Structure 1
């Protein structure tokens, strides 16, 4: 399972250590997304994959089962393991979404990502304004302060921004909105990649101010204001990303 924030950490070359099982999952999963294993094709047999990744049959089989659960693969008797149609891929799985990052993406995919974020996150913010707890508010204020103190370290700033959005999704008390975290992280990765690649100083005050407004609306318990404030933060992200 992909750890929340791992995609944003990878922007700065900070990756999570992998065991053999997760390594095979990542290599085959990314291979499906980038077209190394095309949709409808049959994967090489077990012996070939075991030799390529230098793993046991048990490790390989468990990795394939994980990828099948994510909708990327399907095992067929007497045929082998095939790459599933795109319509079966679980695009709410954070790891599946992370594998899309860095790959050439269709305009339809990017438009859908923006559209879903604009539908779900503002609604989550509105619900958070009604359902947040004292702990949620404490964490929101903490991550705003982290954004303020990390303005000169863009990777840490991006992580703080993402964590704030994650807490708001959690504060909505809606399990489906909480499961939206992969879309939120991928959107943040697209937004912050240009800033990470540009080593120069960045004026982040507009972003900080927008998030202060968002947290203030949630804290005051004003759903409509929280909804509007979340839309404003998303608009800033879209402008930064240029996608």
Structure 2
């Protein structure tokens, strides 16, 4: 069910309504009939109201006198919220989400790699190596692998020496985890380590040009993999390096 699966009935309703909104099953402006919804789902009004409050905090729903509870315009959704990202990734919005993520990462991570090659410390290099080792050990577990991959990229952003770049992980992290789970669930045998190793080797030698180029190559391969998976029709099985 997702992040709310272990939170009882309330969590189940948050997940269900969140997915319905993010998928467009409940479109912008749609008014929710809470009594009918409660009857459909077999839950009390108090559970529904609490679930609505959670989704309102994420920008998906709103409640007003005389208008009732309704779906807010997409422009008001908290698109960087980890749950909103996950709900979008599980529905028909996957391709758009992943394309937006790829563009964002292409703007941020090659520059971060360039700075990191010049500024990284020995400790940061060791942390990146550790994250890469965990990626290699978790190849058969898409979720664990995704978290190790995320740690590598977080460490790289931190190694840039730029505090604002380092906090860009807040923008990248939710989508990156879902991207990794999508790709590595489709092809668990894929080996992402060589592409990451090329970045790490460039950081170790303090070669800024090579670090930027390696990151661009890694991101290009990542984007190509996702495009193949989210394109209409069967996905080809020739994927190799992913991030």
| TM-score w.r.t. length of structure 2 | 0.74
Question: Does the residue aligned with 1:38 lie in a helix, a strand or coil?
Answer: coil
Taking the TM superposition and a 5 Å limit, the aligned residue runs for 1:50-199 are 50-55=38-43, 57-105=45-93, 108-129=96-117, 132=120, 135-151=123-139, 153=140, 155=142, 156-172=144-160, 173-174=163-164, 176-180=167-171, 181-196=173-188
Is structure 2 residue 225 aligned with structure 1 residue 240?
Answer: yes
Q: Deviations over 1:138-197 (max 9, x none)?
A: 33211211233344x25244443233223334445336402121122233234324214x
Following TM superposition, by how much is the alpha carbon of 1:75 offset from its aligned partner in structure 2, in angstroms?
A: 2.0
Question: Does the residue aligned with 2:32 lie in a helix, a strand or coil?
Answer: coil
Aligned position for 1:41: 30
Following TM superposition, by how much is the alpha carbon of 1:34 offset from its aligned partner in structure 2, in angstroms?
A: 1.8
CA–CA distance in structure 2, aligned partners of residues 208 and 59 of structure 1? 45
| TM-score w.r.t. length of structure 1 | 0.74
Q: Work out which structure has the larger RCO, using CA pairs closer than 8 Å and 6 or more positions apart in sequence.
A: 1
On the 8 A contact 2:89/2:178 being kept in 1, the answer is yes
Question: Does the residue aligned with 1:36 lie in a helix, a strand or coil?
Answer: coil
Question: Does the residue aligned with 1:179 lie in a helix, a strand or coil?
Answer: helix
Q: Structure 2 stretches of 5 or more lacking a match? A: 231-243
CA–CA distance in structure 2, aligned partners of residues 28 and 179 of structure 1? 24
Question: Does the residue aligned with 1:74 lie in a helix, a strand or coil?
Answer: strand
Q: 1:108 to 1:34 in 2, by over 3 A?
A: closer
On the 8 A contact 2:61/2:70 being kept in 1, the answer is yes
Aligned position for 1:10: none
Aligned residue pairs: how many? 222
RMSD of aligned C-alpha atoms?
3.1
Q: 1:240 to 1:38 in 2, by over 3 A?
A: same
Q: 1:107 to 1:143 in 2, by over 3 A?
A: closer
